Every structure is written in structure tokens, then in C-alpha cells.
Structure 1
Amino acid sequence: MRLLVVSVCLLAGCLAQEPHPCSSPPLLSGGLTVTTQNEKLFTVAQYMYDALGRRIRLRELGKYENKTFTFDALLLFREATMYEINERARTCIKRPLKVDFQPMEIPKDASLLAQSILGSSSGPGEGLLINTWVGELPNKGGKYLSTVTEFGCIPVSSVYHTEQFGWMVTSFYNNIIGISDPGQLNPPNYCQDADTKTEEEPADFFSVFLNIQ
């Protein structure tokens, strides 16, 4: 009985601690979905995230304006370059990348909206303690809402507003700390001679979800 009381007190102490802004692990991989308010875009993707090398890889399957697409993109922020990769055809398209790397984190100026339990608190292992934060996007880009786990700062979801799509919702699942095959974050050998498409607008992070051509 005494052990139970101690355990309950420890749990209550953890829940009573005030959440603080945090950074996700520098190496993450898993799955995500992106949906938009205007229902023009829906995509499911596998992602690899390397904050140390500032690299992201996304393999997508989605639908945009009722047309399905597949897309494989490697974003190298230090080189300001994005590779559109076709592994089956062993071809690449190289594009300039115009945005800065944004780490997965809760900015220090974010405000805590709520702490809650995803699932149930009725029994052990039935729920996940999460924190939801709100803030302003850089350069007056509007508001965002991000949810991460209390322990580990693992991303759960993010919501932000764009002029083109309205509210965009990104939901993360099957997150794993680490990357099983870091070589997937390097351009394939057949991309070395890829020509850079400079006649078009540089790619930004959001355009990765639109199967840009």
C-alpha cells in the first residue's frame, strides 16, 4: 500500500511540473500525413529527419486536386539544394532550395495551450501525456499550433495556416529515434550529374508536398 501511495505521488509530481518548450531528438524517422482545409491535398509520407546534418527525406503517396502522385524528395539545407529522385528510373532532378532549415522544436516564445492525455488515464499504458503549444510563424506568416509528447518532445501533430490551402494539418505516427539507413540522406550516385533547374522558381518546403514538376 505504501508503495502504491509513493507511486501515485511521484506521478502527480510529474503531472504537476510546468511544461517547457523543447527540441525533438536530432535524428528521427517515421510516418506522417498532411491534410488541408480546402481538401485539395492529402498525402502520406515516410520521413527521415537529420537536424545535425540539416537533411530531410520524404517519400510520398498522395492526391492533389483529385490526381494521385508519388514523390521522393531529398532536401539538403546546407547546400540549399533539393533532389527529386526516381529510384526506379535511376534519375534525378536538382532544384535550388530557398528556405532555411527549421528544426523540429517548440520555440522559446511559444505559449502553452494545454497539457492533456491522448487516450485514457484509466490504466497504465493506456494514455500518452502531450503538450499543445501555440505561437506566431516567422515573418508574420500567421499562427501555428504544435503538439509534442511531454517526455521526449516527440512530434504528434502541427497545424498552420497558408493562403493557398487554408489550415494544413500534419500528423506524425510510428516515430523512431534514429535513422536505420543514414545513406538514404545522401544523393544517390546517379544524381551526381543531375542538372539544376534554375529557370523555375526555387523549391520551398511546402512545395515538396505538391509533386512539383
Structure 2
Amino acid sequence: MFAVLAFCLVAFVAAQTPRPCTTPPQWESNIFDHNQQQKFTVRGRLSYDAAYRRERMVEEVIIGSTDDAFDVIALFDSNTEYVYDFKHHNCSRRKIDRRWRDFGIRPDATSFGEAYIGSSAAPGLGLLVTLWGGNHTTPSNDTVRTFGTWTMRGCLPVRHISHSAQYGRTETSFFDITAGISDPNVFIPRRECLTEKEYAMRDILFGTPTKIEKK
């Protein structure tokens, strides 16, 4: 009898263990990014595509007293990003020197429960979110501590904080998220960023890839 009771208790505890929800792979959002140690602030509109590891950010970047604006398309699978400078009206192409930012919940994250942003006193006064965090080590052996909040309904990112000895503390907030990618051409670089041949083939080179289904 005791063995049966113990088994039921273990099963009940396992059933209560929170599991990370799954963030949609494609969405767009206004974003605010700030790092005190690196002394930069970024705000703009992000188009995010985790399915094909690419993102586009039309952004204003403030570093110290310098204020610039860029249109950045980062294609992580080809390790290339295109940066259009609104101030100087030119475009540069370079290799990506940063890791892909996955704004979903890490599979090994620890749950810190649920909370309301605002109030739960009455309907419409608050937003129910789920809280997750943890530590992980990057390929460069940098230990990163993370903490984030996602909406309980839809699993959309609300806020993400990371801290490491190499980069300091970075805090990212998301606003006005919309599901999917509104413009299918959003990941095609500007004409100034491409050669004539590349621009003529832009839909083939930079359009949404077609997944080949396994038979």
C-alpha cells in the first residue's frame, strides 16, 4: 500500500513540474535594448524568424552621445548581415560576429512561477506571464545568467535580461508584438546592398526558403 501511495505521489509531483511553453517562430515587435556596461541603447522594429534563423531590425542606436540609425538584415545560416546606414546613405556587408538570439525559453531553464504585470484584482488590469531563468556557457566559455518573462497565453516574449562577465547586463523589452511576418520581402536587402546580378535574383537569393519534405 505504501509503495502504491509513494508512486502516486511521485507521479503527481512530476505532473506539476512546469514545462517551458513554445514561442512562435515568426513574429514582429517594437524592441528596446539597453546595456549599461557597453553604454548602448537600441530601439526599433524587429522582424524575427527563428525557423530560418534570420532577423531584420530597423533601429536607432545610441552609443554614448552618438545617435545613428540603421537597417540591419542578419542571415545567420549564411553568416552574413547587411547594414544600411541612414545617415551616410550607404550599405556594408559583413560576417556576423554574434550568436543567434533565440527569444524562446531554453529547454533547460528553471521555472520561477507565474505573475501578473499590473494587477489581477479585476479582468483587464494585468497580464499573466510565466517566469524562467538559468545559467549557460557560451562556446567562448563565457557564463551567461538569464531571466525572462513570456506571456502565459501565446508564449510571447515580454522581457529578457542576460548578464555575463564579457558583455555585462543587457535588458531587452518587447512591445506591440504581431504574429507572423507582415511583408514576405522584409528579409531582402536594399538595392544599395546588392550587386546588379544579386538584385536581379533577389527573390531567389533572399526570398523565403522552401522546406523540402522528407518522403
Shift of 1:182: 2.1
Shift of 1:176: 0.6
> Could you say what the CA RMSD is over the residues aligned between the two structures, in angstroms?
2.3
1:25 corresponds to which residue? 24
| SS of match in other structure, 1:160 | strand
Structure 1 CA distance for aligned equivalents of residues 50 and 182 of structure 2: 15
Shift of 1:183: 0.5
Larger radius of gyration: 2
1:137 corresponds to which residue? 136
Is residue 40–residue 66 contact of structure 1 (8 Å, CA) maintained in 2? no
1:124 corresponds to which residue? 123
Shift of 1:38: 3.9
The sequence identity of aligned pairs, in percent, is 31
Structure 2 CA distance for aligned equivalents of residues 112 and 188 of structure 1: 42
1:56 corresponds to which residue? 55
Distance 1:45 1:137, change over 3 A: farther
Is residue 35–residue 170 contact of structure 2 (8 Å, CA) maintained in 1? yes
Shift of 1:36: 2.2
Structure 2 CA distance for aligned equivalents of residues 38 and 89 of structure 1: 27
Letter in 2 for 1:72: D
Letter in 1 for 2:158: V
Distance 1:165 1:67, change over 3 A: farther
Is residue 40–residue 165 contact of structure 1 (8 Å, CA) maintained in 2? no
Structure 2 CA distance for aligned equivalents of residues 171 and 60 of structure 1: 14
Structure 1 CA distance for aligned equivalents of residues 37 and 190 of structure 2: 36
Could you list the runs of 5+ residues in structure 2 that have no partner in the other structure?
Answer: 1-15, 197-215
TM-score if structure 1 supplies the norm length?
0.75
Letter in 1 for 2:178: I
Taking the TM superposition and a 5 Å limit, the aligned residue runs for 1:83-102 are 83-86=82-85, 91-102=90-101
Shift of 1:37: 3.2
Q: Deviations over 1:13-70 (max 9, x none)?
A: xxxx764212311111011111223482222111000122221001111311121111
Name which structure has the greater RCO, CA cutoff 8 Å, separation 6+.
Answer: 1
Deviates more, 1:158-167 or 1:104-113: 158-167
Is residue 27–residue 50 contact of structure 1 (8 Å, CA) maintained in 2? yes
Structure 2 CA distance for aligned equivalents of residues 24 and 162 of structure 1: 24
Shift of 1:162: 3.7
Aligned residues: 178
1:178 corresponds to which residue? 180
Letter in 1 for 2:148: S
Is residue 37–residue 165 contact of structure 1 (8 Å, CA) maintained in 2? no
Q: Deviations over 1:77-106 (max 9, x none)?
A: 111101002468764211012445343211
TM-score if structure 2 supplies the norm length?
0.74
1:167 corresponds to which residue? 169
Letter in 1 for 2:68: F
